[in-house]
Amino acid sequence: MNILVVNCGSSSIKYQFIEAESRTTMAKGLVDRIGMSGAVLTNTRYDSDTIKLTGDILDHGMAIEYVLAVLLSKNHGVIKDKSEIHAVGHRVVHGAEDFAGSVLITEQVLQSLRDNIELAPLHNPHNIRGIVACRQHLPTIPQVGVFDTAFHQSMEPRAFLYGIPYIFYQKYKIRRYGFHGTSHFFVSSRMAEVLDTPIESLRIVTCHLGNGCSMAAVKHGQSMDTSMGFTPLEGLLMGTRSGDLDPQLILYIMGKEGLTLSEATTLLNKHSGLIGISGESSDMREIENAMEKGNPKARIAFDIFCYRVRKYIGGYAAAMGGVDAVVFTGGIGENSVRVREAVSTGLEFMGIDFDPALNAEGPKERIITRPDSRVTVGVIPTNEELVIALDTMNIVNGGLPPTMKNMVKNRALEAL
Ligand code: ADP
Residue 26 resides in a domain: no
Degrees, nearest 5: CA angle 80-86-87: 130
Residue 275 resides in a domain: yes
Mean pLDDT of 278-306: 97
For the Cβ of 42 lying below 6 angstroms from any atom of ligand 1, the answer is no
Please pick, among 32, 98, 148, 391, the residue that the annotation labels catalytic. 148
Q: Best mutation site among 336, 340, 383 for ligand 1, i.e. most ligand atoms within 8 A of its Cβ?
A: 336
Mean pLDDT of 23-52: 95
The structural domain count of the chain equals 1
Under DSSP, the state recorded for 33 is S
Mean pLDDT of 299-321: 98
Provide the pLDDT for residue 349. 97
Residue 194 resides in a domain: yes
Q: Reply yes or no on whether the pLDDT at 404 is more than 80.
A: no
Q: Reply yes or no on whether the pLDDT at 240 is more than 70.
A: yes
Provide the pLDDT for residue 415. 45
Residue 403's pLDDT band (cuts 50, 70, 90): confident
7 - beta bridge partners? 14
For the Cβ of 335 lying below 6 angstroms from any atom of ligand 1, the answer is yes
Residue 59 resides in a domain: no
For the Cβ of 290 lying below 6 angstroms from any atom of ligand 1, the answer is no
Residue 23's pLDDT band (cuts 50, 70, 90): very high
Compute the mean pLDDT over every residue in the chain, rounded to the nearest whole number.
95
Atom of ligand 1 nearest to the CA of 288: 25
Q: How far is CA 395 from the centre of its chain?
A: 21
Provide the pLDDT for residue 413. 62
Q: Is 47 a catalytic residue?
A: no
For the Cβ of 341 lying below 6 angstroms from any atom of ligand 1, the answer is no
Residue 332 resides in a domain: yes
- Beta-sheet strand order (sheet of 325-329): 222-226, 213-219, 203-209, 325-329, 376-379, 366-367
Residue 331's domain comprises 181-379
Residue 257: CATH number of its domain: 3.30.420.40
**DSSP per-residue codes, 190-212:** HHHHHHTS-GGG-EEEEEEESSS
For the Cβ of 285 lying below 6 angstroms from any atom of ligand 1, the answer is yes
What pTM was computed for the model? 0.94
Residue 112 resides in a domain: no
Q: Whose CA is nearest to atom 21 of ligand 1?
A: 335
